[in-house]
Every structure is written in C-alpha cells, then in structure tokens.
Amino acid sequence: MSTAVPGGDIIGVADGKLMVPDRPLIPFIEGDGIGPDIWAATRAVVDRAVEVAYGGRRGIAWLEVLAGEKAYARTGSWLPDETLEAFATYKVGIKGPLTTPVGGGIRSLNVTLRQTLDLYACVRPVRYLRGVPSPMRRPEAVDMVIFRENTEDVYAGLEWAAGSPEARALAEFVSERLGKAVDPEAALGLKPMTARASRRLIARALDYALAHGRRSVTLMHKGNIMKFTEGAFRDWGYALAREQYAGRVAAEADLGGAEPAPGQVVLKDRIADNLFQQVLLYPEQYDVIATPNLNGDYLSDALAAQVGGLGMAPGANLSDTVAVFEATHGTAPKYAGQDVANPGSLILSAVMMLEHLGWNEAASLVFSALERTVAAGEVTRDLARQLPGSRELGTAAFARAVMARMTGE
C-alpha cells in the first residue's frame, strides 16, 4: 500500500470492501462559521478514542482540504478540484458546515459535493441520547435511520428564474407541445427521478436493514399527487424487493397482518404528510425510511427535533466507494470563534465514520462517553438553556469532558 503523506496510508477497496490500514489518511474540511470550533473538538475526541481503544496501534493521519470561505480566500474557488480529488482518492472524509447564501450567489457546496462524487445516499440515524432535552413525551422510542436520495429530485438544480428566457422557453414548450398551461412569467423547475437512482438508494436501505436486524423499511413518497415521480419511487421499490430480495423482504400488503418470517424485513410505504404524523404518534413502528431528496431533507430535520435538535444529529453521504461524514446543521456565524457551539453533531458523525472504517471499539467509546457526559448535565449552551441544573461548558471544555469519561477520569 502506497504512502500518501508521511505517516498516513491510503484506504484501499477490494471486492467492494474497504481495506483500512492502521493509520489511514483521512481528509477533512473544518467548515465555515462555527466549523473550526466544532472540528477542533471533534478531532480531539476522535484521536483520544482511537488512542484509548487501540493503545497506539492505530491512528488517523488527518489531511486538511479546502472548501467554503477559507477556500475562496486562499484560492479564489469555493470548492477547488483538489478537494474533490482528495475525497475520491482517500475514500473517507469528514466535513464541518459550509456557507451557501440564500437566493443568488454560489450554488450549494453540499449539493455540488454530493453530485460530483455521486454521493447518492444521505444517511441520517436519529436516536435519542439520555439526558438530551426533547419536546416529546417518549423520545426514547425514536430510533430510525433515514436513507435520502441525494442526486435527483428538485435538488438537481434544474430551475430558472421567473421572466428569464429559459423559463419562458420551457413554459412555451410545455404549453404548446405538451398541452399543459403554464404562465410564461412563472419561475420553473424540473423534478427528475430515475429508476436507477431510486432503486440503488432503496437497495442500500434494504441492505442496511437486513444487515443490522431492523424490522422494516418504509418508502416515504407523495405518490398520490406526483404519480410519475414519487409514485414511481414507491413502485420501483416494491419491484426491486420482488426481483432481488425474494424471501428476505416481504411487502406489508402481502403479509395481510401476519408476522414476517424470522429475519425477514417488512417493506411498506406511507404518504409523506401522513408519515410526519406517524413518526410523532407511533415512532416505534418506523425503523428505516427510504425517501426522495426533498422529503428526506424535511423529515430528517423534523426527526432530529424529536430527539433534541440538529446539534445532536449526525449524517453521512455515501457513494459505492466514497463516504463523506458531516455536521448536519448550519454555520451559525454569529457564534464563530466564541467557544460556545455544540460539537455533538460532528462528533456523532465521526462515530459513524469510525463504524464505517470498522473501528467499532473506538466508535462505541465515543458514543458512550458523549452520552454519559450529557446525562451528567455537562452540556454546551444550546442544551444548558433547556436543562435546569445543568453545567454549561464551552465547546473545548465539552470535548475534554467527553474524553475524560473514556478513561474514567
């Protein structure tokens, strides 16, 4: 295995599986706004966990790559080609939040990363941690994993401003050639969805459920209205289950109320608006959820609110060969450099990264120490405001509290 930089080795891939050296080289983007604060805390926690778990036999060689404001200031590019090449080469990376102005200006850097690297699956586990304040009566019942399609749907970026020549031309085409009246002054966007992208996302959700002993996969869609896009997403999912998962996956309708066979995953579907109600009222009935892009964006944030908010919500973006783990919240620039931000989202995303590497001992160490720290009432400002009697810690102090609990200090 070739050495990429002194002390670090490139992660390989053989037969679709990662070949992880003892000192893998992993690129990181610290992020904008509070990104540097939460990244410093996360890096310290991860390095300590790896040290404790493996006694120095393993370690991570971190490589900084640039994106966002820091990249633009240094290179004139918001997302340099070298950054994309680094993630593609080293296979596993992690990033803080990145700035994207609302409305005009630069296009979403997160969307560009996902589409350029074909990170087609956004995976968001949502699980309650003891001690985290929640608006729900039974937040402990929430234990779901969302698989959100990342490359198509309205996030494909196919939209045109109202009154633009492109929008008028598209309105004219739709009106004259397709017989659907469209106001020529309307802003227009397209919602492409393909069987290929939908099926590979749903397959990933089914494979996860089978591998992790999950009971069900729910297809979230608005197919009662958008019959040929989101309705097709639903239909493609059921067809995939029949063709490739016979005996291992059973459609809910085919069971007729009976229990599935041992080890069998139930595949069901729910209309998007109904599912928002269902996950509030009956969270224990939902396990793994597969969804098109926009629905998944809404649902993952709504579910995060049930277990304490985005400050404690991890996420990953996956292709068949590349994985980029990320904080799921924004940059919160007014808190940048103040040592008050909650690094929980990025730390938990790092837990997912360690699990992806197969370093489960270090992952468990981080998760357990983080949960015990929060349960002890040692939390950052966002949580302290909601927890009477808690002890407010700065970002760096919170990281130190987590690290101390790894060794019982």
pLDDT tens sequence across 29-73: 999 999 999 999 999 999 999 999 999 999 999 999 999 999 999
32 among known catalytic residues: no
43 is in an annotated binding site: no
24: number of CA atoms within 13 Å, CB side? 24
> Which member of 22, 183, 254, 273 is catalytic?
273
Task: Quickly state the pLDDT bin for 171 (edges 50, 70, 90).
Answer: very high
* Options 91, 95, 191, 222, the catalytic residue: 222
Does 330 count as an annotated binding residue? Answer: yes
The 3-class SS string of 119-164 reads CCEEEEEEECCCCCCCCCCCHHHCEEEEEEECCCHHHHCCEECCCC
114 is in an annotated binding site: yes
Residue 147 is assigned to a structural domain of this protein: no
Q: Are residue 299 and residue 268 in the same domain, yes or no?
A: yes
CB atoms inside a 10 Å sphere around CB 84: 17
Per the annotation, does 385 bind a ligand? yes
Continuous H helices in 139-287: 165-177, 195-211, 230-244, 252-255, 272-281
In the three-class reduction of DSSP (H, G, I as helix; E, B as strand; rest coil), residue 193 is classed as coil
Query: Does one domain contain both 277 and 328?
Result: no
313 annotated to bind ligand: no
Residues 32, 115, single domain; the answer is yes
Confirm or deny that 108 is annotated as ligand binding.
yes
Number of separate domains in the chain: 3
Q: Domain range for residue 275?
A: 192-307
> Is there a domain that residue 144 lies in?
no
Asked if residue 293 belongs to a known ligand binding site, the reply is: no
Based on the residue annotation, tell me whether 273 is a catalytic residue of this protein.
yes
Closest C-alpha among 33, 18, 43, 9 to residue 347: 43
Residues 173 and 45 in one domain: no
Establish if 200 belongs to a structural domain.
Answer: yes
Last residue of a domain, one of 267, 289, 307: 307
pLDDT (tens digit, 9 = 90+) per residue, 293-344?
Answer: 999 999 999 999 999 887 888 999 999 999 999 998 999 999 999 999 999 9
Tell me which of 135-139, 164-168, 197-201, 396-400 is least confident.
135-139
Predicted local confidence at residue 5, as pLDDT: 45
The whole-number pLDDT of residue 7 equals 78
Q: Are residues 211 and 241 in the same domain?
A: yes
Q: Say if residue 148 carries a ligand binding annotation.
A: yes
Residue at 22 is within a domain: yes
pLDDT at 104 over 90: no
Can 382 be counted among the known catalytic residues? no
Q: Using CA atoms, how far apart are residues 138 and 315, in angstroms rounded to an integer?
A: 23
Query: Tokens in use for 20?
Result: 């992880």
Q: Could you tell me which residue, 311 or 125, shows the higher pLDDT?
A: 125
**Given this model, what pLDDT does residue 331 score?**
94
The yes-or-no answer on residue 155 being catalytic is yes
Is residue 148 in a domain? no
DSSP conformational letter for 2? -
φ and ψ of 3, to 5 deg: -85, 125
DSSP string, 306-368: HTT-GGG-EEEEE-SS-EEEEE-S---GGGTTSS----HHHHHHHHHHHHHHT-HHHHHHHHH
**pLDDT given for residue 105 in this prediction:** 52
Kindly report which listed range (3-7, 267-271, 368-372) carries the lowest average pLDDT score: 3-7
124 and 19 both lie in a single domain: yes
pLDDT confidence tier of residue 6, bands split at 50, 70 and 90 = low
For 223, the 3-state DSSP assignment is coil
Residues 255 and 336 reside in one and the same domain: no
Could you say which of 120, 155, 208, 245 is catalytic?
155
Residue 81: phi and psi, rounded to 5, are -60, -35
What is the DSSP code (8-state) at residue 259? P
Residue 124 labeled ligand binder:
yes
